[in-house]
Amino acid sequence: MQNANRYCVFKYRPTNHRSPPQPQVPESLAHRRADVVKRLTSLTTQVKAITDFLSNEEAVNFLKQDKTQNMAFLQREYSIGPEQIDALYHYAKLNFECGNYSVAGESLYHYRSLSTHPERTISALWGKVAADILLQDYTTAMDDLTKLKETLDLDTFAPVARQLQQKAWLMHWALFVFFNHENGMNALIDLFMQDRYITAIQLNCQHLLRYLAVAVVVNRRRRNVLKDLVRVIAQEQYEYSDPVTEFLRCLFVEYDFDGAQEQLAKCDALLASDYFLVAARESFMEAARQFLFETYCRIHQAIDIKSLAVRLGMDEAATEKWIVNLISNARLNAKIDSQAGTVVMQTGTLSPYEQLLERARGMSLRTFSLANTVTGMLKSS
């Protein structure tokens, strides 16, 4: 039908000088549009007192931390009561549904500063994060995500199923921010590897292990969490697996280099088709090859470059050049025998001093995370 329609020519020959007839808007759509415009006009009128107040910086300075006092102050001085503040929430929601995300985000910000309704305040924060993401303001979105996480972590009296569900939602929404923020990979690891959140992943959304695995592989400074991640992947292999998680499992659990090589080839195609991971494709493949090379060298003292090229999915010349760069940049204790076509790498165990430093780094990261959590709880209380 498409090919046939290409050759159909429709000629309009007006009998007079009038313009061609315009397409008619369906009555249902016209009625819907009129209803939305009517609601928006009504809500704009209802929130005018609040918007006028918020535009007056001197008046805003009189607001205090206590929202109850602020409500009494607004009611007494500006005749702004709970009805107007509720109207601000609906005004923000309607603007969000109409695609006016900047107005929605600003209105939700002010609503959270004035409202004493706990459930709607959390809902407004979810809406603010969504507006930030759609506006591609990832710096503000990161800050709002942190506030949302702190709020959810304090809600310990909610049913366990609800807590797990909200944490799963938070991690899914956070993907839009983490993979577009300069420090997103670190933030993803910090969030996903917390006990409560890794539990939510294992129970509700095992597929998020893919994104956590990519973040850990790409981020060389966070390899201290690799052991814990591999343990979780091994536990969840019967519930969920993909080429990324299988690559790590084959390499670090089974020491199956043939299987790791096969999964690495699949990772290239998988990351190329993943909305969030496509930008990390090259860095992941580079880091994954390095993992494969280092692990293979720990087991074999002398490695044939030709066979290693096959495992890395590269040609022999490119493999040799890649190994030379890796040895020089990473300062590995290895050398290449060009005549024999082999790589000789002498790996030793970490000295007690190096082991102590590694443990100290891990403890400092945990202490830093704990301090941030306590600080957030004190601010919220």
- What is the tens place of the pLDDT at every residue in 288-329? 988 887 777 767 666 666 776 776 677 777 777 777 776 665
77: confidence class by pLDDT, cuts 50, 70, 90: confident
Label the pairing between strands 302-304 and 334-337.
unpaired
CA atoms within 13 A on the CB side of 27: 0
Q: Which positions ≥6 away from 53 have C-beta within 8 Å? A: 59, 60, 74, 78, 80
pLDDT range class, residue 155, cuts 50, 70, 90: confident
Contacts 24+ apart (CB under 8 A), 176-184: 176/133, 176/141, 176/276, 177/132, 177/133, 177/138, 177/141, 177/142, 177/145, 178/215, 179/211, 179/276, 179/277, 179/279, 179/280, 180/136, 180/138, 181/138, 181/139, 181/141, 181/142, 183/142, 184/138, 184/142
Model pLDDT, residue 2: 44
In angstroms, rounded to a whole number, what is the distance separating the alpha carbons of residues 264 and 243? Answer: 7
Rounded to 10 degrees, the C-alpha dihedral 235/188/260/266 comes to: 110
Please classify residue 114 by burial: count the beta carbons closer than 10 Å to its beta carbon, then call 0-12 exposed, 13-18 middle and 19+ buried. Answer: buried
Q: Average model confidence (pLDDT) for the chain?
A: 82
Show the CA angle centred on residue 248, arms to residues 258 and 214, nearest 5°: 130
When comparing pLDDT for 343 and 224, which is higher?
224
For 241-278, how does the pLDDT look when each residue is reduced to its tens digit (9 = 90+)? 999 999 999 999 988 888 998 999 999 999 999 999 99
pLDDT average, residue stretch 324-338: 62
Which pLDDT belongs to residue 344? Answer: 64
Every domain of the chain and the residues it spans: 33-135, 156-293
Comparison of pLDDT for 381 and 191, the residue scoring more: 191
Whole-model pTM over 0.85: no
Q: Which pLDDT band holds residue 8 (cuts at 50, 70, 90)?
A: very low
